[in-house]
Amino acid sequence: MRGAALTEPVLRDDLAGLRGRNAVTRLVLTDFRCYERLRLTVDGRPVVLTGPNGAGKTNLLEALSLLAPGRGLRRARLDEIDRGGAAGPGNCWAVAATLDTADGPTEVGTAHEPAGDGAAEAGRGRRAVRIDGSAVRGQAPLAALATVAWLTPEMDRLFLEASSDRRRFLDRLVYGHQPGHATRIGAYEQAMRERNRLLRDRLGNRLGDDVWLDALEQRMAEESVAIAAARNEVVARLNGAMALAEGPFPRAGLTLDGLVEGWLAEGPALAAEERLRDALRAARSEDAAAGRTGAGPHRTDLAVRHLEKGRAAGECSTGEQKALLISIVLADARLVAMQSGATPILLLDEVVAHLDGRRRAALFDELCALGAQAWLTGTDRALFSGLEGRAQFFAVADAELRSEAA
């Protein structure tokens, strides 16, 4: 079972039998970006997709990224993904997959379901999720089935841009350790939205004694402590794994810069919960005026250092930043594999072309040793020759895939 307590000892003998079980074995896309219909069957080994620009490689990885909670690797709006976009035939996209999980094969479906009749509203809609044929509430249950981690060219700027991207990157990794993390973040955000709405509605009234606000802030404080504790734990484990890492990828030092995360490092969870509850209560007028909640785990940032260079990731070269990201994703995959036996599904979009030969070979060896189903893309098939015989190769052109002999 996934989601075992983090403190549970890892039994090495248990691992061998479970390894590499987290994989997509069947994928069907319908009206998904450039794909009118795509059916693909693969096994648990790495998958290499090569083809010219615009062939449909990233779109396919995006479809796989929607097997995890959230908005996928492009953070696109639901109607942007519909084939043809707003000007297209108006069909809503769907992704169906068979996932090989530690508990056996599971059928997963996710699709854009339009909301209401209004054309403007239809663009929004909701992302429906079905697991083994049954509709589930929200997307959080996906986190319990498989972990999907990705690196895309857009993430080359991860260390330079807003903290929200780094926080999401970390939270996605945390899902693999604690699948309940996605549900908690959803519950926290929902309570925060309601608090913001209440504060807006009651602006100018007495905000001090309001049982609804009390209840929402209590809920937020409870969820915050669980969210922050999970992040702290995963960051500590990643740092531990980094200390043991060998090979050509740089070791990364991770630090969380967050209010509740800091409080938890100093004292007991209950004290942190009370502190946040009191802080939220004290900030009601200020937050009402600002129209948002100023403090909480939705503001946490992840700081990364290049340990050998002794420099913040944001001050490293683009290539070094990329290598740091790969290093973190690989360390996390090793940890999750040791813990649950099911390595994350890794989506590595245009990653290989930026690596020198030594790092490329090390990456391929590591992916194969982990038994991870990594999906790798590139324009140049020759760069993947190190995976010959160990991966499945497909040529992508004009939204069609052709299997190629490895």
Ligand X SMILES: Nc1ncnc2c1ncn2[C@@H]1O[C@H](COP(=O)(O)OP(=O)(O)O)[C@@H](O)[C@H]1O
Binding site for Mg ion (CB under 5 A): 57-58
Picked from ligand X, Mg ion, none, the partner binding residue 54 (CB below 5 to 8 A depending on kind) is ligand X
Smallest separation (angstroms) from ligand X to the CB of 352: 14
Picked from ligand X, Mg ion, none, the partner binding residue 33 (CB below 5 to 8 A depending on kind) is ligand X
Cβ-Cβ contacts under 8 Å for 370 (sequence gap 6 or more) = 19, 20, 330, 333, 334, 337, 343
Measured torsion, CA atoms of residues 152, 156, 161, 162, in degrees rounded to the nearest 10 = 30
Smallest separation (angstroms) from Mg ion to the CB of 58: 3
Toward Mg ion, which CB reaches closer, 281 or 381?
A: 381
Toward ligand X, which CB reaches closer, 103 or 398?
A: 398
Q: Using CB under 6 A, which residues numbered 30 to 59 contact ligand X?
A: 33-34, 51, 53-59
- Tell me the C-alpha distance between 382 and 390, whole Å: 15
Toward Mg ion, which CB reaches closer, 2 or 57?
A: 57
| Total chain residues near ligand X (CB under 6 A) | 17
Residue with tokens 């599904």: 345
Phi, psi (5° rounding) for residue 35?
A: -95, 115
Picked from ligand X, Mg ion, none, the partner binding residue 217 (CB below 5 to 8 A depending on kind) is none
Listed ranges 82-90, 95-103, 254-262, 320-328: which one lies at the site for ligand X (CB under 6 A) = 82-90
Rg (CA), the chain: 22
Smallest separation (angstroms) from ligand X to the CB of 59: 3
Smallest separation (angstroms) from Mg ion to the CB of 377: 6
Does 340 help bind ligand X (rule: CB under 6 A)?
Answer: no
SS3 content of the chain, % helix, strand, coil (to 5): 45, 20, 30
Type of residue at 123: G
Rounded alpha-carbon distances, angstroms, from residue 36 to 74, 84, 98, 128, 192: 19, 10, 19, 19, 39
Picked from Mg ion, ligand X, none, the partner binding residue 277 (CB below 5 to 8 A depending on kind) is none
CB 301 within 8 A of CB 257: yes
Which string of x and - marks every residue 355-374 that binds ligand X (by CB under 6 A)?
--------------------
Binding site for ligand X (CB under 6 A): 33-34, 51, 53-59, 80-85, 88
